[in-house]
């Protein structure tokens, strides 16, 4: 048996905490990447129970998972598109489109015109992320979305921070640029609509940037790179399939990377890198100093030869040798462990595959 277990109580705790921190500011729950790996539909349900009525997605399927449950929810598509099929489905599902350039505005405006409807949209501004969005100086183009597309109704405008977890100056520079765009619109006599810029890290660090809404994804799972009193959601549970004593000199795993220096009791667990275990994902090697830190950590781990653990009955059991595609072997010489016991492995939900997601 193996499953990815999601502690519903922990998500509820995070939602309670986050809604309290947000106060009157509306939260947009970001459920892209199939709800950060946990299922857009299930996550939407928990968010809705916590009073959240606004959602962000990047796929039509995710929008559908939400719309099927909540007819009234506001759903914002974060990924702009000119694909006719997708635009049709977005209109069918009453999804708010992101308008990021004039071509997208024209495509949706014309489609909505053909259908005799008005499509609700948010305008995206590129203040530094370098993907999606009008450039801040393209005031005429932005104004044109508001003023010259009769079948578009702009209800919001947003931008996205690239370094909210690591660079305060960059965040405030982006925020200033964004405010500049808002002011230009106001000066031209246009109501910009709801302005929003914060992701989880920015939300937790700078209340003064909350504006008209905040977009929270990783914080829902308590997996955000800034300090916060949130619970980390998600862990892999797997049954110990086999236990054996390896004699001195015996190896385990490909490349015989580990050899027993003394008789060692080992457990075989049916989870490997295919399932997302020991796949590096979290090393924030964004800056030189992070690279150096990551290298030092790798070196330290190499010297210690036990960077990975599996938890069994409360004991941390070092992983032995290379993690296999579908198996992991760990040292249980000092642990209380029998066949059939449950092993707990730390896997990022975004990396999980080949096992059931189990809410409990």
Write out the binding residues: 131, 325
For ligand PLP, which is the closer residue by CB, 165 or 258?
165
Count the helix, strand and coil residues of the chain and give each as a percent rounded to the nearest 5.
Answer: 35, 25, 40
Binding site for substrate: which residues? Answer: 131, 325
For residue 204, count other CB atoms closer than 10 A to its CB.
24
State in angstroms the smallest separation of the CB of 24 from ligand PLP.
20
Q: Which residue is nearest to ligand PLP (CB)?
A: 217
> CA nearest 96: which of 150, 57, 133?
57
Shortest distance, position 266 Cβ to ligand PLP, whole Å: 38
Least distance between ligand PLP and beta carbon 100 (Å): 11
Q: From CA 135, how far away is CA 7, in angstroms rounded? A: 42
Inter-axis angle of helices 102-115 and 139-147, to 10 degrees?
10
Tell me whether residue 164 or residue 317 sits nearer to ligand PLP (CB atom): 164
Q: Count CA atoms closer than 13 A to 235's CA, side-chain side.
A: 16
Closest to ligand PLP by CB, 76 vs 238, is 76
Measured distance CA(27)–CA(155) in Å, rounded: 16
Interface residues with ligand PLP (CB under 6 A) are: 30, 32, 78, 160, 199-201, 215-219
Query: Which is nearer to ligand PLP, 127 or 218 (by Cβ)?
Result: 218
How far apart are alpha carbons 266 and 337 in whole angstroms?
10
Nearest distance, CB of residue 290 and ligand PLP, angstroms: 17
Taking the complex as a whole, the smallest distance from the CB of residue 200 to ligand PLP amounts, in Å, to: 3
Q: Output the six-digit token pair for 114.
A: 């053909």
Q: Which is nearer to ligand PLP, 217 or 270 (CB)?
A: 217
Nearer to ligand PLP, 75 or 219 (CB): 219
Nearest distance, CB of residue 98 and ligand PLP, angstroms = 9
How far, in Å, CA of 270 to CA of 2, rounded?
A: 7
Q: Which is nearer to ligand PLP, 222 or 276 (CB)?
A: 222
H or E element that contains 292: helix 288-304
**Residues 6 or more apart from 211 whose CB is under 8 A from it?**
25, 194, 195, 196, 197, 198
| Contact assessment for residue 88 and residue 111, using Cβ atoms and an 8 Å cutoff | yes
The closest alpha carbon to 348, from 229, 227, 198, 225, belongs to 225
Please say which residue, 30 or 99, places its beta carbon nearer to ligand PLP. Answer: 30
Instruction: Give least dist CB 305 to ligand PLP, A.
Output: 34
Helix axes 60-67, 40-49, angle to 10 degrees: 40
Nearest approach, Cβ of 115 to ligand PLP (angstroms)?
A: 27
State the Cα angle at 347 between 5 and 303, rounded to 5°.
Answer: 145
């Amino acid at each position: 048996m193996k499953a990815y277990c999601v502690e519903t109580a922990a998500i509820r705790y995070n939602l309670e905490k986050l809604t309290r921190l947000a106060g009157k500011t509306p939260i947009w729950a970001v459920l892209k990447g199939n709800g950060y790996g946990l299922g857009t539909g299930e996550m939407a349900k928990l968010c809705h129970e916590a009073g959240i009525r606004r959602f962000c997605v990047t796929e039509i399927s995710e929008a559908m998972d939400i719309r099927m449950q909540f007819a009234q929810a506001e759903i914002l598509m974060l990924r702009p598109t000119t694909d006719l099929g997708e635009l049709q489905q977005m209109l069918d599902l009453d999804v708010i489109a992101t308008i990021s350039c004039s071509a997208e505005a024209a495509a949706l405006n014309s489609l909505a015109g053909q259908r005799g409807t008005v499509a609700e949209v948010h305008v995206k501004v590129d203040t530094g992320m370098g993907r999606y969005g009008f450039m801040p100086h393209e005031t005429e183009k932005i104004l044109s979305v508001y003023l010259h597309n009769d079948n578009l109704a702009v209800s919001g405008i947003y931008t996205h921070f690239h370094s909210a977890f690591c660079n305060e100056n960059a965040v405030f520079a982006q925020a200033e640029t964004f405010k500049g765009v808002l002011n230009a619109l106001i000066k031209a006599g246009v109501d910009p609509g709801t302005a929003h810029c914060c992701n989880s890290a920015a939300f937790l660090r700078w209340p003064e940037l909350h504006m008209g809404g905040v977009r929270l994804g990783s914080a829902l799972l308590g997996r955000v790179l800034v300090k916060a009193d949130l619970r980390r959601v998600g862990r892999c549970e797997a049954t110990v399939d086999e236990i054996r004593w390896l004699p001195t000199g015996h190896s385990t795993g490909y490349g015989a990377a580990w050899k027993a220096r003394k008789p060692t009791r080992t457990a075989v667990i049916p989870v490997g890198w295919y399932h997302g275990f020991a796949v590096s994902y979290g090393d924030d090697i964004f800056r030189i100093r992070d690279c150096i830190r990551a290298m030092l950590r790798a070196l330290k781990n190499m010297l210690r030869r036990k960077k990975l653990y599996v938890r069994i009955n409360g004991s941390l059991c070092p992983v032995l040798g290379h993690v296999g595609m579908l198996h992991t072997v760990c040292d249980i010489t000092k642990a209380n462990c029998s066949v059939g016991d449950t092993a707990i492995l730390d896997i990022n939900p975004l990396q999980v595959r080949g096992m059931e997601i189990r809410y409990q």
